[in-house]
Amino acid sequence: MARNVRRLMAVAAMALALCGGQARAADPPKTPTIRTIQLQVDPAPEPRFALQYLLETPYMEQRPGNAALLYQTAIGQVLEANQGEDAIDRDTLNHWYSSPPETLPVEDVRAAISRFRSAFRNLETAARCERCTWEYPIREEGFTYMMPQLGEYRTLSRLLCLKARLEIRDGALDQALATLRSGVSMARDLGGGPSIIQHLVGVAVAAGMAREIEGWVQAADAPNLYWALTVLPDPLIDIRASIQMESAGLYAKLPELLTLEEKVLSNEQVLDLWRRAAMLLGDNEEGSGWWLGKTVMIAGAMKRYPQAKARLLEQGHATERVEAWPALYVILLDQHQQFRAMRDRFFKWTHVPYTQARSRLKQADEEMSQLWRLDGDGLTNPFLTFLPATQRIRFLDARLARDIAILRCIEAIRMYAADHGGKLPKSLAEITAVPVPVDPLNEKAFHYELTGGKAVLEGAIPPDGGPRDGLRYEITLR
């Protein structure tokens, strides 16, 4: 009897599974779609004074001081203010942040963010500071130093976004502009700091502010921000300090590498350096396991010796000198030179526009993959592991530039409409009053078409990104 019940249940389960499978098969395949935003905008001419509205504090309105201290103070104030039973948790904040304006619980948000007034005031002051110097000891500590409370900048930036959203909703556009200015300044200061993580956070904060400008352009009688966006530095977020730290952050913990060309290391010293590099990369922290587990690998490293020696001879080192060096030192020197060459091969392309850098970065990426494959049977060059995914960094920078460029396009369209009796242009080429920017992700004009009284402006899905990295605005005039 029990066996029959079990059989019956098994048959039922199979039937359910089949039905479920058929139901799933019947569903249309879910493909991620391009991010599409509907915009209802007013025509807006160029302001009477073109540079009246700015998203950065003009020089003559700045004050002496270091904005970094005010940012840290603001973080402390947010943590302090967000206490008690009605503290906003991360999920709630994220939910509000990602809610469309029509479903935003306005009064709840208003009450919640009102408690952060002190922090907002400090951010406004920080936006007026003439410099931002992050005075933490990253030069001494390298990769072991993580900017404290970096995650709280996400909180701060989302609070700022919500504040701007409410101010735009309330028609307090001057105040909204000040809030956006605080956000843009924070993004620029944070992203210009000396670590790639910080840089990426800055880029994300700036992208958040760009999305709030989507709200601005839809506000009734919102002034045109074409020139405010055009005046911003390009790139908005400076990558140089962070790339320079990433270039040399390794040496803070492996300083022998800095003098490797001048000071020959013994085999024991090389082994010790490898051991520390392995520990930093996540091998057994105790060390003993590494010794036992890597002995075979070190023996395999000797396979690299002939090639390493040959490469050093090619570079002009005297044969007798190279042959006198300890074998592991020869391998280490070769590894370090390989690291430096590969690092510079990537990082030099952070200083040219993305469209010029893209194929070269891809090529460098392939070369590095090839090195990994070649190293497969010997000692993997550990130093290559410290390099970040430069191609991705450049893509995220370019995507932010695209977000700003496409907003400039929208403002150029609003300007055209104001100058042409409330009509949308038939093509972007019709806009002649101001330059219409191209898409920094491909250096081509944004796709534009006018269909049924609606303008469609689209930044294509970039080859290095997914569908959600594309951007489409459907614009109608009020």
The site for other proteins (CB under 8 A) is made up of 79-80, 82-84, 87, 90, 94, 141-146, 149-155, 157, 195-197, 200-201, 204-205, 253, 263-269, 271-272, 275-276, 279-282, 285, 287, 291, 295, 298-299, 302, 305, 323-328, 385-386, 388-389, 392-393, 396
DSSP state of 439: B
- The amino acid that residue 450 corresponds to is L
Q: Which is nearer to other proteins, 254 or 431 (CB)?
A: 254
In sign, the C-alpha dihedral spanning 7, 12, 15, 20 is: negative
Write out the two tokens for 425: 């242009």
CB of 14 vs other proteins, minimal distance in Å: 38
In the complex, least distance from residue 269 CB atom to other proteins, rounded to whole angstroms: 7
Q: Which of 399, 364, 397, 76 is nearest to 242 (CA)?
A: 397
Q: Which is nearer to other proteins, 8 or 318 (CB)?
A: 318
Among the listed residues 340, 358, 341, the one whose alpha carbon sits nearest the alpha carbon of residue 349 = 358
* Min CB(348)–other proteins separation in Å: 19
Give the pair of three-digit tokens for residue 343.
């690092």
Are 414 and 40 in contact, with CB atoms under 8 Å apart?
no
Closest to other proteins by CB, 70 or 475: 70
C-beta of 289: minimal distance to other proteins in Å?
Answer: 12
Q: Rounded to 5 degrees, what angle do the CA atoms 39, 43, 47 make?
A: 120
As beta bridge partners, residue 66 has: 131
Minimum distance between the CB of residue 392 and other proteins, rounded to whole angstroms? 5
CA distances (Å), 53 to each of 34, 46, 231, 374, 413, in order? 31, 10, 10, 56, 18
Q: Which is nearer to other proteins, 10 or 281 (CB)?
A: 281
What contacts 271, CB < 8 A, 6 or more positions away? 298, 328
Distance CA(124)–CA(107), nearest Å, equals 23
Cα separation of 109 and 128, whole Å? 27
Looking at beta carbons only, is 31 or 288 nearer to other proteins? 288
Least spacing, CB of residue 366 vs other proteins, in Å = 19
Look up residue 389 and give its two tokens: 């995914």
The nearer residue to other proteins, 141 or 449, going by C-beta atoms, is 141
Minimum CB–partner distance for residue 38 and other proteins (Å): 24
Spatial separation of the C-alpha atoms in residues 246 and 337, rounded to whole Å: 16
Q: How far is the CB of 144 from other proteins (least distance, A)?
A: 4
Q: Within 13 A of 327's CA, how many CA atoms are on the CB side? A: 10
Q: Looking at beta carbons only, is 172 or 302 nearer to other proteins?
A: 302
Of 93 and 412, the one with the shorter C-beta distance to other proteins is 93
